[in-house]
Every structure is written in C-alpha cells, then in structure tokens.
Amino acid sequence: MTTGNNRSCAPGRRHAKACPTTAKNICPGGACFSLPASSQRGSALLAVLWLSAALAAIAFSLATTVRGETERTSTELDGLRSYYLATGGIARASAELLWSAENPGQRVLPKGSTRVDYRLPSGDVRVEIIPETAKLDVNHAPVAELFRLALALGVEPGRAQTIAEGIADWRAAGGGPSAFDGYYLSLTPSFRSRHASFEEIEELLLVRGVTPDIFYGTWLPAPEGAIAAGGPRLVPRSGLADCLTVYGSGERVDGNTANPAVLAAIGLSPYAISALVERRQMAPLTLDQLYNLLGSVGADPSRLRVEGNSIVTMRATARLRLANGQLSDLRRTVAAQIKYLARGYGYSQIHILRWYDTAWSF
C-alpha cells in the first residue's frame, strides 16, 4: 500500500518516484535506502586506479624483459663478431709466419716473434705464438722435473709428488699392477691406466692428483701490496697444459717463450728466471744473447734454445672497436695448434692439429 508519494516497495526493487533523482535506491527486504552519487564515483575511480597500476606493472615487466633480451642478443652478436675477428687473426698470423720462414729476406714477422698485434677497423687482435718447444715432453720428462714443475705451479709438495709419480706410472709400458691401478679401479666410473705414451695432453686430467685448476690454470687473489698500488685484484696461475706437450721437443726448451714454471723445472734459479723473463719482454733473444744473459747470472744455458720446431700453438684474443673508437670490454680468445708441413705434403702447408673455440689468455 502507498500513501501520497510514498509507496512500499517489493524486495530488491528500485523506488524511483519516492526517492530523489540523485540517489540510487535499493529495497533489500522491503526497506528502502539510498547510496550517494559521490560513493559511486569514488568506487569507479578506485577501480580505474587499480587497473592502471596493473597495466603499468605488466608494461614495466614486458619492457624489462625486452630490454634484457635485447642486451643479451647484442652481447651474443658482439661475441660472435669477436670470435671471427680472433679466427681471422690466427689465419693471418699463421700465413705470415710461413711466408717469413720461407722468405727470410722479405719477412713479415721479425725473427723469433712471440706475438703479433693487428689493429683493424673492426677491432684489435693480439696473437701469441707459442712453439711446442716451449714445453716439456710429458712422455720423457724425468720425475724430478715433473715434481719441480708442479711445485712451480703452486701445487703443495705431497700432491706434486703424487702427480709426478702418476704421470710416470701412466706412461710406463708393461709391468704388473701398481698402487695407481688400484686407485683408478676404485673410482666410479672405474678405468685402467693406459701404461703407454700420452697421445693427447688432456689425458693428464685422468692422472691421480690432477684437478681442472691444476691442468688448465686458474686465477688467484693478488698480494695486498699490489692491490694497494692499483694493480689487478686477481693474477693468473698457469696450468700443466701450458707447460707439457705430447709432441717431443727434446731436452732443450725455447728460452723466448717457455713458461717460468718450465724454466724452474729445468733447474734455473728464481733470479735467473726473473732476469730472462724481463729481458725477453723487450725483444726476442738470439742464441748468443741468451747464452750471454744466463752466463752473466751464473745459470747453465745448456737446456735452452731459441725458436721452435714445426708445431706451434697460436692463441688470439680479439676486442671489438665501438662506434666511439674505444675498444669493447668484451674479449674472445680462440687457439689453434698448427703443424707446418714441407711443400708437397698435401694441398696446404698449414695443418691444424687442434682447434679450441674457447681459450683463455693472460
């Protein structure tokens, strides 16, 4: 029933006539009440703000993902360009070394060169030339020299002795089972020692006591004094791979390129090693200069020679040139073990024995 302008309303129905036109009337359970128009506008504004915040978060997340993918793709592209730049450096250096050896009067690389730098429009490449004669022959080096080598590489004495004896056991032909055989058979997976010459230098990773850090080398914290003087925080430490070879080089090693640890292994004193390394950084030494230098410091030069044999390792490190002319911080290093053949042995005199897509340089 209704009286005047008032009427009762059914539950859930709007009463448009009895209430002001500015209000929204709802009759729950027969009772009529109204919501102000300002509350309606506030709720709508709040919903719009929440929706805007959600869309902004989605847009920010998408932009971050796109930016990250763009930077990653750019880095991958720079890495690929650096790889081919380094590869080109090895190809050029290997050809120039061959030309220089066959044409002494028209040398492109100076005699005894241990590295060559190429400055190209797209970037810079440094190629290190390391003859296999700079390393000890892993199949013939005495145990005492292997022990001194491991010590010079920073291996503690007990492990150094184990490595030296393990190398000797691995390459020893015939004979009965040894303590090393029992150790290898106790591993999972188990294996047997070859008891034959090393065919690949990577076999050293199977020898008892050899770890990846000892084989490949690693980085160590620099002395506090060097860091305080503005030097790098990390310094490189060479590994067995830099000092041993499966390509026999005889008893003498190349004095211009031999690692300091190799020089220590053949019996040079720390003072003689320091003097030799400092001198050869200025320019490669001739045989006479090498003998005179070592003679002046009281060292025996009979285990040293200059230049290498027909097998060398070339290690190239490339850095791209940026648009502003500066060099990129990104470096890419590749390496190749190259054997030079005499004319008539195949279609090319340059034969790549091993190729390393990823290498590292000091």
* pLDDT at residue 173, rounded to an integer: 86
CA distance 170 to 196: 7
pLDDT of residue 175: 64
**Euclidean distance between CA atoms 341 and 303, whole angstroms:** 26
Q: What is the pLDDT of residue 39?
A: 66
**Considering the domain 82-356 in this protein, what is its CATH number?**
1.10.40.60
Q: Which residues of the chain have pLDDT under 70?
A: 1-40, 175-176, 362
Q: What is the pTM assigned to this prediction? A: 0.76
> If you search the block for the tokens 């303590």, which residue do you land on?
179
Burial class (CB in 10 A: 0-12, 13-18, 19+), 295: exposed
pLDDT of residue 343: 83
E strand or H helix at 315, and its extent?
Answer: strand 311-320
Which pLDDT score is estimated for 253? 94
Report, in angstroms and rounded to the nearest whole number, the Rg of the chain calculated over CA atoms. 37
Residue 89 pLDDT: 96
